[in-house]
Each structure stands twice: as structure tokens, then as C-alpha cells.
A = this chain, B = another copy of it.
Amino acid sequence: MTSIAAVLEGRDLISMRDFTRDELLAFLDEAERFEDFERPIMAGKIMGSLFFEPSTRTHLSFTSAVQRLGGTTLGFADARVSSTAKGESLADTIRMVENYCDIILIRHHLEGAARLAAESSNLPVVNAGDGTNQHPTQTLLDLYTIRQKRGRLDNLKIAFVGDLKYSRTVHSLIETLTHFDNEIFLISPTSLRIPSEFLEDLDARGTVYSEDEDFFSLSSDVDIIYTTRIQEERFPDPIEYEKVKNAYRIDLETMLRVGTEVTLMHPLPRVNEIATDLDDYPGAAYFDQARNGVTVRKAVLCMLLGIDRD
């Protein structure tokens, strides 16, 4: 077993903040070994999958990872079909479910729910998204994709475009990238600027960054453009959403003005922020992200369960 696997065994995966730079690199090395790997090394293992908030992509990606390795899943995809509807506390639900499975996956609309779940359980717990807070396997697959496409995690020019205020995905990736030495470009409407705490963090870590409203302020040597859906459900006020929802539609023509060798990333689902004519752009990496999600999650599950790939 590699050292990173030894580090993660029996632990929980709640927040990217729990990783050091070396642990991240070791994790990515280990994850690579799960690419296209399909032997039943999880046979007999059950993942309890508790989606208090629906999520097709994350749910199916984890389920696929488990099934590819011969394990099984049980749980619910929807809080309406859960005993929470009868007034049960989260801690009690966890203490019930840990009798039925070997590892717990939880998505919840409240920040901190995954940490509470981990504290309530003797089993490893994986955070599949707690409100606007953390979704660590999304960040891990993003890092995995960046390294896969650019061959490194340092010395990159990385632009984040769109909703930088509410996007959990963007916050977590930016924060994690401070372990590495890159230049960050933050492109958003004024009303969706990144919260100042993240800028303070970038300053503290010595990461060079700039903010702009203009997409075309990006220079042609940018390596990565990471865009996100403007998520209506995160806006307290629907009028604010209407104002900005179409702020940064990108199509093939737009991209060609910026560069021809950019890696274009998006956590999906997209609505209209990336035109479908970009699907043939050579740097379009968003469907690869979905694919890498399964690889990364196979690695996470095995490490937390202490299952050796070999």
C-alpha cells in the first residue's frame, strides 16, 4: 500500500483543507492506477449513499465507481424518502445507517453536515457536497484533469469565469491550488466577485492573481479556463440571477479569439454558458472531467476502506 493510502485508511474525506501538498500529489499518483481498473476488489463492501439533496452526477459517478470494483450500494436519492421526514436527527440517521454498510457517502444542503456525520460514525464518511461549503472529490477530479491535460500543477495560468461568489467548486479549487505555484485570473460580474476571504487566502499564500469583468482581458497564453453554471438555486434573490445569468456565454468563436490550446473545464451540468459547438474544441475537457470522476472516486473509496489495488 502506498503511503497516501496508509494516510487515508480509516479516515474521512470531508474537506480539501485536510490535505497537504504532498498528500495531494501522492493521491493523484495513486488515483492514476485506477484508470480503467475494474477488478472486484470491493466485493462484499457496501456503500451507504445518503443524498439529502438530489445530485444525479455525483450519485451516479460514485455508484459506478463502486460497481466497477464489485461492491454494492444502498441508500436514498431524495430526502423525501428518508426518516428525516419523520423528524430524525442527522446523527441518528448516521448511527442507523452504519449498521447497514461499510462506508458512508453523504450530500446535504447544510454546511457542516458531513463533518457532523463523520463525528457520529465509526465508518469512513465521504462528503459529496455540504451546501456551499466543500465537495472534495469534485476538487480532486479537477486537479486530476488539470494534471492529465497540462502535465503539471505548477506554473500554469488559470482563469475562473462566471459565478465566483456562490460556486463551491471554484472556491475549493482555488483554495487547493494555493498549494501550488500558479497565476490566477478571476473574471466575473461585479455582483458575483469572489468573497474577500479567498483573496486574503491567495495573498497569504503568495499566489499572484488579478480580477476583471472582461472575458477578453485574458491573454492567449492562458492554460486553463474554468467556467461554471450560474446556479439559480444559490441566489437569495431571483432578480439578481436574471441580471447575470447570461454574462459569459462562450462559443467556439469566443474561444478562438482567446487561444487555440486552452484547456476548457466546467463541472457540469451546463445550461448555456458553453455553446455546444465548443464540444469539438480540442481543449474541451468537461466530459473528461466526468470520466475522471469515476477514476478518482474508485481511488478514494479504496483508500478510505484500506483496500489495496494490487
Asked if A115 is at the interface (CB within 8 A of a chain B CB), the reply is no
B92 touching A269 by the CB < 8 A rule? Answer: yes
Question: Which residues in B have their C-beta under 8 angstroms from that of A74?
Answer: 60, 63-64, 67
Question: Which residues in B have their C-beta under 8 angstroms from that of A87?
Answer: 269, 271
Asked if A244 is at the interface (CB within 8 A of a chain B CB), the reply is no
A293 touching B81 by the CB < 8 A rule? Answer: no
Stretch touching chain B among A94-102, A198-206, A209-217, A254-262: A94-102
Binary flags per residue of A57-71, CB closer than 8 Å to B gives 1, else 0 = 100110110011000
Closest to A293 in B: B99
Asked if A112 is at the interface (CB within 8 A of a chain B CB), the reply is no
Closest to A274 in B: B92
Question: Which residues in B have their C-beta under 8 angstroms from that of A221?
Answer: none
| Min C-beta distance of A293 to chain B, whole Å | 7
Given A67-B74, A291-B99, answer yes or no on A271-B60 (Cβ-Cβ < 8 Å).
no
- Among candidates B80, B88, B93, residue contacting A271 with C-beta atoms closer than 8 Å: B88
Binary flags per residue of A259-295, CB closer than 8 Å to B gives 1, else 0 = 0000000001111000010000000000100110110
Asked if A77 is at the interface (CB within 8 A of a chain B CB), the reply is yes
How many subunits of this chain does the assembly comprise? 3
Most buried by B among A83, A97, A229: A83
Cα–Cα distance between A58 and B155 once the two chains are bound (Å): 53
Question: Which residues in B have their C-beta under 8 angstroms from that of A77?
Answer: 76, 81
Interface size of A in residues (CB-CB distance below 8 Å) = 52
Cα–Cα distance between A37 and B287 once the two chains are bound (Å): 37
Asked if A243 is at the interface (CB within 8 A of a chain B CB), the reply is no
| Min C-beta distance of A246 to chain B, whole Å | 13
| Min C-beta distance of A97 to chain B, whole Å | 7
| Min C-beta distance of A288 to chain B, whole Å | 9
Asked if A56 is at the interface (CB within 8 A of a chain B CB), the reply is yes
A91 touching B38 by the CB < 8 A rule? Answer: no
Asked if A46 is at the interface (CB within 8 A of a chain B CB), the reply is yes
Asked if A82 is at the interface (CB within 8 A of a chain B CB), the reply is yes
A294 touching B88 by the CB < 8 A rule? Answer: no
Asked if A17 is at the interface (CB within 8 A of a chain B CB), the reply is no
Question: Which residues in B have their C-beta under 8 angstroms from that of A76?
Answer: 56, 77
Cα–Cα distance between A268 and B96 once the two chains are bound (Å): 9
Closest to A70 in B: B44
Asked if A54 is at the interface (CB within 8 A of a chain B CB), the reply is yes
The 8 closest A-B pairs by CB, nearest first: A88-B269, A64-B100, A87-B271, A99-B291, A56-B83, A63-B74, A83-B269, A67-B72
A-B contacts, 14 listed (Cβ < 8 Å): A54-B80, A54-B82, A63-B100, A72-B72, A76-B77, A78-B80, A86-B229, A86-B231, A86-B271, A88-B268, A88-B271, A91-B276, A96-B269, A96-B287
